Structure formats: C-alpha cells, structure tokens
Amino acid sequence: MHVVRIAWVVGALGVGLGAMSSTAAAHTRALQAPTLPDTNAIPPDMVTEGRKVFHSKGMCLACHGAQLEGGPVAPTLKAHAWRDARDGDLSAIYNVVTKGVRGTVMSPRPGGISDPETIAVAAYIWSVSHRGAKP
Ligand code: HEC
C-alpha cells in the first residue's frame, strides 16, 4: 500500500517536473529569439527610445560616454574594432547587453532594463555605429 502511494507521488512529481522543464525550455527559446528589427527598417522611434534608455535608465553613458565616445573604463560604441559584440552586428550587440561580459564591469542589462529596452538600445547603438545616426 505504502509502496503504491510512494510510486504515485514519485510519478506525479515526475509529471510536474517534466511540465516545469518544458516551460523553462519554452522560456529559454523565447529569450533566444527576441524580435530584433530588420536593420534595413529600424523604426526611428526605436532609435529615439534607445537613445533615452542609454542616457537614463541603462546608465550606459556613465562608462561609454554621452556621445558613445568611450571612457577610462569602457570602449567607444561608435564604429570600432568590436571586442565582444562580434562585427558590431545588431544581434551581437543585443547579446552583449543581455548577458554582459563575464569578468568585466559590463553587467547583464545594466540598470535593469527590460527586453524591449535592450532591443531599443541595441538598435540605437547599431544605428550610430553603422548608419551615422545622432548619438
Ligand atoms: C559600469 C560600466 C559600464 C556600464 C554602465 C555599461 N557598460 Fe557596456 N561595457 C563596459 C565595459 C568595461 C565593456 C568592455 C568589456 C571588455 O571586453 O573588457 C563594455 C562593453 C560593451 C559592449 C561591447 C563593445 C565591443 O567592443 O564589443 C556593448 C555593446 C556595451 N558595452 C553596451 C552597453 C550598454 C547598451 C549599456 C547600458 C544599457 C552599457 N554597455 C553599460 C562597461 C559598462
């Protein structure tokens, strides 16, 4: 009797954990597949929003400079030989801002910015560095 009950509990737990891990997998997929804009059609509003995030909530300017010129602790984010964000691609910039750079003061999502804010700030940096948009 006891054995049966324990088997049932273990079974139920197994189902529960299975459901949990598939939810986690779906969540991970969602995180890995952000809707980054097509770089040929970045909405100007998104760049404006990204500029705001960079200079306020994200506090990126503290290290990267108000004009993206770089500073004593962090590199410029204008066109340069990218160190972490491979080739300065939009998705690479997004990934660096999302995950940070391990072992450096570049933390994941500085200022606790949301995913849409991360996309906007990445689109802003891309537009300044690749299209000469106003910093
Ligand atoms: C506390 C300082 C600090 C803040 C705040 C900060 N960064 Fe950084 N960031 C760094 C440093 C340092 C690096 C370079 C890490 C390394 O490779 O040594 C870096 C690297 C980067 C890179 C990659 C540059 C490259 O050459 O590949 C991007 C993109 C970036 N930061 C974006 C941002 C954005 C966007 C924000 C705000 C949301 C931000 N950073 C806030 C310090 C900072």
- Does the beta carbon of 63 sit less than 6 angstroms from any atom of ligand 1? yes
pLDDT in tens, 42-72: 999 999 999 999 999 999 999 999 999 999 9
- Does the beta carbon of 60 sit less than 6 angstroms from any atom of ligand 1? yes
- Say if pTM beats, i.e. exceeds, 0.95: no
pLDDT score recorded for residue 40: 97
How many angstroms separate the alpha carbon of residue 76 from the centre of ligand 1?
9
Q: Which atom of ligand 1 is nearest to the CA of 77?
A: 24
Nearest residue to 60 via CA among 32, 100, 89, 90? 100
- Does the beta carbon of 59 sit less than 6 angstroms from any atom of ligand 1? yes
pLDDT score recorded for residue 29: 52
| Confidence tier at 8 by pLDDT (50, 70, 90) | very low
Residues sharing a CB contact under 8 Å with residue 124, sequence separation 6 or more, in sequence order: 46, 47, 49, 50, 51, 53, 54, 133
pLDDT score recorded for residue 5: 54
- Does the beta carbon of 77 sit less than 6 angstroms from any atom of ligand 1? yes
